[in-house]
Amino acid sequence: MAFRLLHTADWQIGMKAAQAGAAAEQVRAARLEAARRVVALADAHAVDALLLAGDTFEDSTVPPRLVQEVVLLLRNSRAPVFVLPANHDPLLPGGLFDHPAWRDAAPHVTVLRELGPVAIGPADLFACPLRERHSVDDPLARLPDAPPAPRTHLRLAVAHGSVRGGPVPDGELADDFPIDLAHAERAGLDWLALGHWHAPSSYVVAGAVRAAYCGAHEPTKFGERNAQGASGQCLLVTLTEPGAPPQVEALPTAQLEWRREKVELRDGADLAALRARLDGEPASARERVLLDLEVAGVVGSDVAVAVEALRDLLAQRFLHARLGTRGLLLRPDDAGWIATLPPGAPRSAAQSLLAAAGAVGGDPQAARVAQRALELLYRFHLETGGTASSAAGSGAEARR
């Protein structure tokens, strides 16, 4: 027996993408294109089932034409397709899944409205559809216990919620539809396809990785990553027999790249290097890269002013870009701020560094190190509520 499924989730078709500004329409189009990529991968790998683990749509207000477009897209799959209603698109009377397009869909496209099981060849699929936007109930609680061994059928489940007992990715909820994986072990699941969290995460159940978030097929915002990877993929899962460890392969699906960078600036040379790197971005970045760039450091006023000119360059080089400058501080040009430091070691250290940085005829390398240390002390002074020097008083912190 060799059973293969493609696990995808969180398409969120119809999302507003307001944070992408003028590129919002391209971001929305990319989500549909990534969905087509998922179906193409399912066909290319000749899977036995394509599982959509919830949040296929952004919310219940998406235009009917988008529902129609998604149904048509899924009809093109050669594999049976199973769609789970979840918290963004719950199973409600008159909701998205009552659209006539689902009734007219091909027989191989199924909306999972009940627990099941649904027979898919040698596998039984259980579903945990959601009927509300928020809940503290465990979606897996109703799963039936595993049958006595030896088992002849694979046992699969698809659910949407927040796994308890592990790290919670940034920006995700820990108490929304909480999932206890003990239910997966009790039910004897060979694979639990999870949705809700947009970065991929996998979990050991009964001695092997048998549960995972595949991650969103297309990033929805900056920072959708963790130690196990980033959004923009689906999972190809191969099951050989009941109880055997699954084989899992991540397949890329993202159409756009959401890139986040932080750059430390100290002088004009650092800024010139950053400009040269940005200017050398390939032409394709203009079509597919959204950049969140944060610059920080203690710099002279000439560099602080020149940083603002980066905004035009970013607009030319990327589909969408944000430039953050809250961490950019003006270098002090007098010693007035030192007098506001606590007496003793802090003030003495700053005075010694100031003298070493301005020493005439000394070691240039030592002077640079002292200047850098003085700038770091100045930054710490401001970050802990200190007063900026008079030279930086009108703009010690550049604004976004």
**359-388 pLDDT, tens digit each:** 767 788 888 788 778 878 877 776 776 655
Question: Within this chain, do residues 180 and 263 fall inside the same structural domain, yes or no?
Answer: no
Question: Within this chain, do residues 174 and 301 fall inside the same structural domain, yes or no?
Answer: no
What does pTM read for this prediction?
Answer: 0.83
pLDDT tens-digit map of 23-49: 999 999 999 999 999 999 999 999 999
Question: Within this chain, do residues 36 and 160 fall inside the same structural domain, yes or no?
Answer: yes
Amino acid type, 297: G
What's the rounded Cα separation, in Å, for the pair 42 and 24?
28
What pLDDT does 393 receive? 34
Virtual torsion, Cα 225, 226, 230, 234, nearest 10 deg: -130
Question: Within this chain, do residues 205 and 279 fall inside the same structural domain, yes or no?
Answer: no
Question: Within this chain, do residues 199 and 265 fall inside the same structural domain, yes or no?
Answer: no
Taking the CA atoms of the chain, what radius of gyration do you get in angstroms? 27
pLDDT tens-digit map of 204-244: 999 999 999 999 999 999 989 888 889 999 999 999 999 99
Last residue of a domain, one of 217, 252, 287: 252
Half-sphere exposure of 164 (CA within 13 A, CB side): 15
Tally of domains in the chain? 2
